[in-house]
Amino acid sequence: MNVSIERKRTDCAALPKGWQREEVLRKTGLSAGKVDVYYYSRGMRADTSLIPPIRQTASIFKQPVTVVRSQETDSSRVKRELQHGSQIKPKQLFWEKRLEHLGASNTHNEEIGAIELPKRLRAIGPGIHETTVLQSLATALHHNTHPVTGQTASKTSLNTNAGVFVNPDQPLMSNASIGEDDIKRQEERVQYARLRLQEALRA
Amino acid sequence: MNVSIERKRTDCAALPKGWQREEVLRKTGLSAGKVDVYYYSRGMRADTSLIPPIRQTASIFKQPVTVVRSQETDSSRVKRELQHGSQIKPKQLFWEKRLEHLGASNTHNEEIGAIELPKRLRAIGPGIHETTVLQSLATALHHNTHPVTGQTASKTSLNTNAGVFVNPDQPLMSNASIGEDDIKRQEERVQYARLRLQEALRA
DNA sequence: CGGAGTGGTAGT
DNA sequence: ACTACCACTCCG
């Protein structure tokens, strides 16, 4: 007897690189025969072309720049790469600065106004401005598997010896934590945005 | 602020006995403000017009026959009805015999073939045939809140003094119990039926 | 896999 | 335009 496939996991051309689509057939219950679809990105996180450091040259070919941290000697890096199977990629410090003063535009070439960050998220590091923090934070929120918390080192130590104290996995902002009241305020904003969307669609 | 009622569950005169109408206000989304109506029958099982004893006269007015068990005296019944708030309705014995030799037909007036019961389910009671047991069993499966097990009294006692020993809540079949192997066999049947349904829907 | 809840539409 | 109904998603 030819039993149909109950679990089927496939790569799929329409999906971003590294994503897989899995179809699972419901076998029992009232909804037996229906198919649940799951998407997995395990193994490869995010589009490699978006992982910093990023070239700001216009090109459809993704060519990430690879500059190593200055205080890591070549020999120590080779040893680490051998241990970890060369999976840990070096990260450029302050890659965000390369994108400074570049703004997004709409189709009419009108620049889109700046987005303001909450006051409590303060820039940290030498010569880092608010727009730069925004890029840094947005990238972290997109990529990081772990929580985005900001830099833990003190402001003075970062400004004097950034190479030592900057954590490249975290955005260039001061350490911040979110409380119940923050969550509540954000929920209210979402509620309000939904209301306005409703009204807009009705009209 | 005047908050409208979001969930309202009511008995409703227009509904069959035991049904409840619930109105639920949609709170979010594009259809916010609309009301969904749900009907529930929890608490009372089945349409009272289908509960035996059933008249076989054609009539849109439901007029159940009410014959009391002969061995229950009027005084004892009155006492019980006082205790239980007159909620226990008397049941006619062997009401199934009234429906004997009546078969279902399709729209072309062709009679639908008999359904066979498993061998182990044996008819019990004076002059009860397989088709009668089937009606009896089907009704029990539809109505009973408690498990359907069949008659517990012995065959001889039932045939000699049915009025005393017949349990009107159970179908007119010998006591039957279901084992692990029965369940397994049934599961296999269901699996097979589902497979065929899938194939049919695909074609 | 079930259930709550919303989106979408045929039919009036 | 509205209603009643079904389809579907999303979450636990």
Tell me: the pLDDT tens digits for B140-153?
776 665 677 888 88
Which pLDDT value is given to residue A56?
42
**DSSP assignment letter at A60:** S
Chain A residues in contact with B28 (beta carbon < 8 A): 194
Residue whose entry in the numeric block shows the structure tokens 């073939």: B113
Map residue A192 onto helix, strand or coil: helix
- Amino acid sitting at position A79: K
Cβ–Cβ under 8 Å, residues A45 and A145:
yes
Which pLDDT value is given to residue A135?
78
Note the CA–C1' distance, B5 to C7, in angstroms.
23
Closest-CA residue of B relative to A25 is B198
Chain B residues in contact with A194 (beta carbon < 8 A): 28
| Mean pLDDT, residues B171-185 taken together | 82
Q: Higher-confidence residue: B53 or A113?
A: A113
Chain A residues in contact with B198 (beta carbon < 8 A): 4, 33
Map residue A120 onto helix, strand or coil: coil
The number of residues in chain B equals 203
Which pLDDT value is given to residue B64?
29
Note the CA–C1' distance, A123 to C2, in angstroms.
48
- Most confident among A24-33, A79-88, B170-179 (mean pLDDT): B170-179
CB contact (8 A) between residue B194 and residue A32: yes
pLDDT-wise least confident of A88-97, B11-20, B45-54, B101-110: B45-54
Q: How far is A203 from chain B (nearest CA, A)?
A: 12
Q: How far is B201 from chain A (nearest CA, A)?
A: 10
Mean pLDDT of chain B, nearest integer: 66
Distance between CA B168 and CA B161 in Å, rounded? 14
pLDDT-wise least confident of A64-73, A125-134, B5-14, B47-56: A64-73
Question: Which residues of chain A are at the B interface, by a Cβ-Cβ cutoff of 8 Å?
Answer: 1, 3-4, 32-33, 194, 198, 201
| Mean pLDDT, residues A41-63 taken together | 43
B42 sits within 7 Å of strand C by its CB: no
Q: Higher-confidence residue: A168 or A4?
A: A168
Which pLDDT value is given to residue B81?
31
Q: How many CB atoms lie within 10 A of CB B139?
A: 20
Tokens of B29: 């989304």
Map residue A77 onto helix, strand or coil: helix
The proportion of chain B whose per-residue pLDDT surpasses 90, expressed as a percent, equals 0
Residue whose entry in the numeric block shows the structure tokens 């916010």: B32
Cβ–Cβ under 8 Å, residues A92 and A70:
no
CB contact (8 A) between residue A201 and residue B30: yes
On the question of pLDDT at A185 being above 70, the answer is yes
Note the CA–C1' distance, B29 to C10, in angstroms.
22
Of the candidates A1, A33, A201, the beta carbon closest to that of B194 is on: A33
Q: How far is CA B87 from CA B82, B90, B105, B193, in A?
A: 9, 10, 36, 42
- Most confident among A192-201, B16-25, B102-111 (mean pLDDT): B16-25
Q: How far is CA A77 from CA A69, A94, A189, in A?
A: 10, 20, 47
B31 sits within 7 Å of strand C by its CB: yes
Which pLDDT value is given to residue B194?
73
Across all strands, nucleotide nearest B32 (CA–C1'): C6
Band the pLDDT of B15: cuts 50, 70, 90.
confident
CB contact (8 A) between residue B30 and residue A4: no
Closest-CA residue of A relative to B195 is A3
Band the pLDDT of B107: cuts 50, 70, 90.
low
**DSSP assignment letter at A3:** P
| Mean pLDDT, residues B144-172 taken together | 79
Distance between CA B99 and CA A159 in Å, rounded? 95
Reduce the secondary structure of chain B to three states and give it as a string: CCCCCCEEEEECCCCCCCCEEEEEECCCCCCCCCEEEEEECCCCCCCHHHCCCCCCCCCCCCCCCCCCCCCCCHHHHHHHHHHCCCCCCCCCCCHHHHHCCCCCECCCCCECCCCCCCCCCCECCCCCCHHHHHHHHHHHHHHCCCCCCCECCCHHHHHHCHHHHCCCCCCCEECCCCCHHHHHHHHHHHHHHHHHHHHHHHC
On the question of pLDDT at B3 being above 50, the answer is no
Chain A residues in contact with B32 (beta carbon < 8 A): 198
Chain A residues in contact with B197 (beta carbon < 8 A): 33
Q: What is the pLDDT of residues A122-131, one digit of tens each?
A: 888 888 888 8
Cβ–Cβ under 8 Å, residues B95 and B52:
yes
Q: What is the pLDDT of residues A83-134, one digit of tens each?
A: 333 333 446 677 777 667 666 666 566 776 667 788 888 888 888 888 888 8
User: How many residue contacts between A and B have a Cβ separation below 8 Å?
Assistant: 14
B36 sits within 7 Å of strand C by its CB: yes
Residue whose entry in the numeric block shows the structure tokens 């998220």: A121
Of the candidates B28, B195, B198, the beta carbon closest to that of A194 is on: B28
Tokens of A15: 């999906």
Which pLDDT value is given to residue B49?
41
Task: Give me the torsion for CA of B28, B29, B34, B38, rounded to 10°.
Answer: -80
Mean pLDDT of chain A, nearest integer: 65
Q: What is the pLDDT of residues B29-42, one digit of tens each?
A: 888 888 888 887 65
Of the candidates A4, A198, A201, the beta carbon closest to that of B198 is on: A4
pTM above 0.75, yes or no: no
Q: Higher-confidence residue: A57 or B26?
A: B26
Distance between CA B38 and CA B171 in Å, rounded? 33
The proportion of chain B whose per-residue pLDDT surpasses 70, expressed as a percent, equals 58
The β-bridge partners of A10 are A21
B29 sits within 7 Å of strand C by its CB: yes
Distance between CA A36 and CA A21 in Å, rounded? 10
